[in-house]
Structure 1
């Protein structure tokens, strides 16, 4: 049985965290998907400059923080002013998700997530996406959680089976899906109740964050909105719960 690794402070060892200049350079050269890179403020010379330039070429998010924060984050205590986070799984392209549906002879069913920052929510959504037969998930490149180790664990293995694409711009991704014949349904409190909405056919379902919902620009690019009736005192549901309800309504309607 594999022995679980722990840090010196007793916390779980994150195997997706890479530290040190040479280690991160090798990850970038390998072409592996990288969620983000964090560098010490003011450290922009030599190898760090090369790292940030390579990250910029690949569209990888680079954040700056003070060295004390890096010291706190470090698992090796030898971060050399830079820490990177690689993806727990490889991403695919949006077209790849469409092709998966075509190969199965099914009408595409895609989940678009706008601003989901909680890895537990993303993991739970991937698990339901797999169970409901969704062909893939699209997430934004910035201001959202990616395929981290926590997401992998929370998904209970679904991360291995549900293709995930990263989009630089969700509105552009939606336009791409429309050209492929998909209708875009936005989860919004002002929309028509979901069990009175037509969710059959080729469909992309847009789910927003629990706090802010779907952003205005993304919402305006959707074809229609659907809502979940709320009869109690609480005005919203956890994002993963809302996504599950809507995904299984799609399942129900497709069976009918």
Structure 2
């Protein structure tokens, strides 16, 4: 090395041009040509490509996004085209998900936890479905659930495989049916999405379309609210909802939007028996401007003056029932 402890060439006990701890014969030549050591090995968290460093960076990023509070999940906008899996945490939530037969891949149980009836039922239901059951440390469950309250139990559900919007029309044609599709505009509550899926399946729709951005996706909450209907009815993603609706129009479907200021009452919708796309907006904002402009017509649901609006799930159920009745009378159901 170029200098020992004590400050290099000016160190005590050094002679000019030499050092007791300096370069030695066979160690790389003279001092200026010698091989310099790299010093002590950096800690794992200081090596950018080491897994420990990546975990530390991710934790710092999460803390910056949530204020650093333990138990908070980072609040990021839902982006439906992210290919991710989801973890359901907590004993009640896991049991309810397994009862609802939500697709799952793994049940995680923390070691040495108190086993109660909910844990026993979760293990029993997972065993009946031949799901892998992994016993891991509580710290591992903490890591997997990102600090959520899990009570020692977590269930992993796989990423949802969305259909293409055109697949829904093909599905109707293959069945020899008149296409009926529900499109959601700006609906961000997964429970509303699940409720719409349930109603769509009940009243003969061929699928539900959601935008990739600023929209609820097929999370555990949507699966649960659909009460199993999501396993029977496809949900498609639209990169651009307006363009998707225009494509449906070119394929011969009438695009009808639900709006408080609709041009006619739902009961007067004669197009209900035709190939149809029913567009439902968010309760607070309704249909976006471009989507409403793309609709062939808009309809309203007459409600009492004291009631300002209906949520998307309820509005879709009422509208789909009306369409189903009109199709039944026309002999198309």
Residues 215 and 189 (structure 1), Cα distance of their counterparts in 2 relative to 1, 3 Å cut: same
The match for 1:119 among 190, 197, 211 is 190
> Cα–Cα, structure 1 residues 69 and 182, in superposed 2: closer, same or farther, change >3 Å?
farther
- Tell me by how many angstroms 1:176 deviates: 1.1
> What is the CA–CA distance in structure 2 between the aligned matches of 1:254 and 1:80, rounded to whole Å?
46
Equivalents in 2 of 1:213, 1:145: separation in Å? 15
Q: Which runs of 5+ in 1 are unaligned?
A: 1-20, 23-38, 44-63
Q: Is 1:161 the equivalent of 2:232?
A: yes
Q: TM-score, structure 1 length as denominator?
A: 0.70
Separation in 1 of the partners of 2:284 and 2:60? 31
Any idea what the Cα deviations from partners look like across 1:2-56, whole Å, max 9, x if unmatched?
A: xxxxxxxxxxxxxxxxxxx98xxxxxxxxxxxxxxxx66759xxxxxxxxxxxxx
How big is the shift at 1:173?
A: 0.6
What pairs up with 1:45-194 in 2 under 5 angstroms? 65-66=65-66, 68=68, 72-73=72-73, 76-78=141-143, 89-191=160-262, 192-194=264-266
Q: Which residue of 2 aligns with 1:16?
A: none
Alignment correspondent of 1:249: 322
Larger relative strand fraction: 1
Report whether the alignment pairs 1:229 with 2:302: yes
RMSD over aligned CA atoms reads: 2.8
Query: Unpaired segments of 5 or more residues in structure 2?
Result: 1-49, 52-57, 74-86, 90-140, 147-155
Shift of 1:148: 0.3
* Cα contact 1:109–1:204 (8 A) shared by 2: yes
Provide the secondary structure at the position in 2 that maps to 1:175.
Answer: helix
* Deviations 1:217-237 (CA, angstroms, capped at 9, x unpaired): 100000000000122411211
Question: Conserved in 1, the CA contact under 8 Å of 2:185 and 2:210?
Answer: yes
Q: Check the 8 A contact 2:198/2:226 in 1, yes or no.
A: yes
Secondary structure of the equivalent of 1:72?
coil
Scaled by the length of structure 2, the TM-score of the pair is 0.55
Partners of 2:66 and 2:72 within 8 A in 1: no
Give the corresponding residue for 1:46.
none
Counterpart secondary structure, 1:68: coil
Deviation at 1:66, TM superposition (A): 4.2
